[in-house]
Structure 1
């Protein structure tokens, strides 16, 4: 069984250049995070770490497939994953998240664990509605048939629309005062 420690990168003794790491993620990886979203999977992640004096840039390249449960039929199915993400870590006085793709870590940090980042990138790449591929084809056909086009245009007096005419008797006199403000 995999442990979170298997996804640590020691950064304390790294030289200032690019370093490449590879991680395998299988069912035991997803067991570490529970099975509410992803039931399992088989993925490979290549992480390129570019270290400079003040910044770590991690480029994640994740490819494989995860096992999901269909929201409609509760059947399990394979969802392909192929994504690239970038995460930056700058050195500062405390460990905290500054933005979605920018973290601050202390200069004394010895190791960074990328397991949570890998899981988050995978989970965020999943569709909101998890449908078995056979239902996805039906949904695509329905969407093609239900396309509605809405347009808007000003009504003109020729259209026979009361609101488009210049009938001054229907206009509240307070609005006439506003017309003179130009």
Structure 2
């Protein structure tokens, strides 16, 4: 990713209160990242930053569309994006990423870069199976396709009646009779 300070928030100059920021993310934003997941889009990000002396809470509200390629037809289409995420930033001795949504920064940190977080939250809001809208309301051709049996321990031709006794070592049967 290229360094772009347009999506950085100067936290050193912010007072301890709630601040609101708005970002419009377009093709230029997505081209900053060396990726092919999201080639283009129009996403509006409302960012609410609440700063206290020990913690910064950053709430993201993302909505818009991104360009995607259908997994079935390879046609391009616009995928709706809606996401609400929260990033917690606490002050500590060193800069660390403690969790996916928890950062630790030093008290002398001047700015908080948000570009990578914005991109990640948009990417996480995308469905795993990317289908063009004309395919999304189609019923599955075979509704039992997802319930296909992949593995079984039963041998071909075995009866369902003798599941408890078939395939069991006879020594275990002797132990059952000890009651």
Which protein has the larger Cα radius of gyration, Structure 1 or Structure 2? 1
Q: How many Å separate the matches in 2 of 1:74 and 1:173?
A: 59
Please tell me the root mean square deviation across aligned C-alpha atoms, in Å: 2.7
Post-superposition shift, 1:174? 4.4
1:172 maps to 170
Please name the residue that 1:101 is paired with: 101
**1:67 corresponding residue in structure 2:** 67
SS at match of 2:45: strand
Q: CA separation in 1, counterparts of 2:51 and 2:117?
A: 18
Structure 1 residues without counterparts, runs of 5 or longer = 151-158
Deviation of residue 51 (structure 1)? 0.6
**Could you tell which deviates more after superposition, 25-34 or 113-122?**
25-34
Match of 1:142 in 2: 140
**Shift in CA distance, 109/136, structure 1 to aligned 2, threshold 3 Å:** same
The 1:134–1:113 alpha-carbon spacing in structure 2 relative to 1, beyond 3 Å, is: same
Cα shift readout 1:74-130 (whole Å, capped 9, x = no counterpart): 221000111100000111111111111111111110001101100000011111121
Q: Helix, strand or coil: the match of 1:30?
A: helix
CA contact under 8 A between 1:39 and 1:69: conserved in structure 2?
Answer: no
Aligned residues: 166
Q: 1:161 to 1:45 in 2, by over 3 A?
A: same
TM-score, normalised via structure 1 length:
0.80
Preserved contact between residue 42 and residue 66 of structure 1 (Cα < 8 Å): yes
Partner of 1:43 in structure 2? 43
2: CA distance, partners of 1:123 / 1:60 = 14
Distance 1:100 1:178, change over 3 A: farther
Residues 56 and 162 of structure 1: CA distance in aligned 2, closer, same or farther (over 3 Å): same
TM-score between the two structures when normalised by the length of structure 2: 0.81
1:112-150 deviation digits (Å, cap 9, x = unpaired): 110110000001111112121112223xx0177337599
Distance 1:29 1:171 in 2: 65
Counterpart of 2:23 in structure 1 is 23
